[in-house]
Structure 1
Amino acid sequence: MINLPQKLNIVKSEGLRTIFEIEGLYPGYGVTLGNALRRVLLSSLPGAAIVGVKITGVHHEFSTIPHVTEDVIEIILNLRQIRFKKFVDEPVKLHLSVKGEKEIKAGDIKTTADVEIINKEAPIATLTDKKAELEIEIEVGSGLGFVPVESRKKDKLEIGTIAIDALFSPIRKVNFEVENMRVGDRTDFNRLRFDIETDGSITAEETLTKASQILVEQFKAIIGEGPSEESGEKSAVTEEAAADSEEATKTKVEDLELSTRTTTSLTEGGVKTVGGLIKKDEASLKELDGLGDKGITEIKKALKKLGLSLKE
């Protein structure tokens, strides 16, 4: 029997980083579960990120903007660092409009009720003159993992919009390690330790729970869902029918109400019970002395009453 592990324990929690331990894992299961969970954590958790920007007066990412220290590429790289918590599935458009000397940060973006900026102190650009101005329309989308621009070429973008590689994953860092521990007399059971750091849009504990649920759903698809009430009733009927069929196979051929000639042919040919009869096909029965097409038809009708049939 493969023992189940103990409940998840939080060993350490500092800001966005949390260390978890799972003890009592069956030998080898530390690496098995660790690898599976880490892959899901990195690739399959939903998140939000900027997918495109439209900067007033800019037509491509290799441009520069008057009185702005950073070029467009640097601004885009800074925008990619902004993390969001999104409350709707649809893309959301936000606006940034700044004039005069200023260090622009994520908190200067005008948000809506659909989006929350997590790291409001993240730098975006620096305006160096009173005449300077910067206007950006920002599109925030939802997705999984990392999605480069090349994978989103089918997306329709407005004229002047610069597409951005999107890192949707809320995971900043995830590592795991496995060590042996004692369980009873054995010392080769596993202790799995996870070190998870998020972007703040979700807690580390929530990410581990979601990753586990994703794996559970995958396994459910493989083995099928548990029986519903309706399927449970069908199962009970099937089991009852199977029990009846098993009982029927013990019936002697003399009790099938066959003609004397057919019964004699079967018993003298070594077929004593219904169980032995259903193992025969028509060809093998015809080899028995005194048994022809009429006798086989008679046998089929008798077996049909029991819900059985000859071998195909």
Structure 2
Amino acid sequence: GFGHTLGNSLRRTLLSSIPGAAITQVNFDDAIHEFDVIEGVYEDVTDILLNLKDVVVRLDSDEPAVLRLDAQGPGEVTAGQFSQTADVEVLSGDLVIATLSQNGRIGMEVTIEKGRGYLSAEGNKVSTAVGQIPVDSIFSPVRRVSFEVEPTRVEQSTDFDRLTLEIETDGSMSPREALASAGGTLRNLIQLVEEMSEEPQSLELTEVVTGTAGSPDLELGIEDLELSERPNNCLKRAQIHTIGELILKSEADLLSITNFGQKSLDEIIEKLDERGHQLALKD
């Protein structure tokens, strides 16, 4: 009966350690920092950066790639308008990045890189060049994982588990591919234990994530939980802005927030569970 052991291990690995690609930097023709406003564009640069964070891409090269976008108003600017290369495919072509007025114009170049988990804009800040703006990057292609364990019978034995996994990805990788990658990562880690020796062993982390393994999304805003309006607004009023800040709170802490009820609490518990997190235990 190792269903729960295997299910938890696979879920955490799927949420934290599957490689993917994302936009890490952007250079605007007419803006030099995130608080700028581009004439003829309804969104400010901060809003455009938030939209760029949601662009789903597939990168077939280990080297960074640069895509160019030029658009003239009026109308919406979508991710599908990026100039694509042989190594890069934009999968969320209908995603709206900005809206232009009659005489509006926008031009930008974005850098796309491979990575794992989540990296904040501060972590992507590798250059102090004027006009190069780092972006929060969600590299993981896995959006949600849940599993169910049921008792099952094999011939005369009744102490076996049936493990059912439900995996949702962003389309840049299939659930089957993500599961295979997670299995490979766990296999390499277990192999270190199997070959245990007195000498320290190292593992080349081409298969295993470094740094924030198990919790790459703690710096993500609570908006990424896709909560309904009431719990989302209640958390913001309580100055809880990231997933990391949220999991430091207990159920009692949340229920003490004005207008925050059991229904909102149940929703948050479910959303955190999908990402492999839980609220703090009461002191």
> When the two structures are superposed, what TM-score results if normalisation uses the length of structure 2?
0.66
Cα deviation for residue 186 of structure 1 reads: 4.2
Give 1:79 deviation, angstroms.
Answer: 0.9
Counterpart for residue 74 of structure 1 = 47
Does the 8 Å contact 2:151/2:161 carry over to 1?
A: yes
| 1:94 paired residue number | 67
SS of 2:23 mapped into structure 1: strand
- 1:114 corresponds to 2:76: no
Equivalent residue in structure 2 for 1:158, among 129, 151, 154: 129
- Equivalent position amino acid for 2:15 in 1: L
Aligned length: 196
SS of residue paired to 1:149: coil
Which structure 2 residues correspond to residues 1-312 of structure 1 after superposition, within 5 A?
A: 27=1, 29-129=2-102, 131-153=103-125, 155-224=126-195
State the alpha-carbon separation in 2 of the partners of residues 218 and 159 from structure 1: 42
In the TM superposition, residue 208 of structure 1 has moved relative to its aligned partner by: 0.5
- Deviation of 1:157 after TM superposition, in Å, equals 5.0
Alpha-carbon separation, structure 2, partners of 1:189 and 1:56: 61
The alignment partner of 1:64 has SS state of coil
Gapped runs of 5+ residues in structure 1? 1-26, 226-312
> Contact conserved, 2:22 with 2:114, CA < 8 A, in 1?
yes
Which letter maps to 2:19?
A: P
- Tell me which residue corresponds to 1:274: none
In 2, the alpha carbon distance for the partners of 1:119 and 1:125 equals 14
Cα pair distance change 1:47/1:183, threshold 3 Å: same
CA RMSD of aligned residues (A): 1.6
Spell out, residue by residue over 1:161-209, the C-alpha distance to the aligned partner (whole angstroms, 9 max, x if none): 1101110001111111212222344434211111101111111111101
**Alpha-carbon spacing, 1:218–1:198, altered in 2? closer, same or farther (3 Å):** same
Aligned to 2:229: none
Distance 2:36 2:53 in 1: 18
Structure number with the higher helix fraction is 1
SS at match of 2:123: helix
Unpaired runs of at least 5, structure 2:
197-283
Question: How much identity, in percent, do the aligned residues show?
Answer: 42
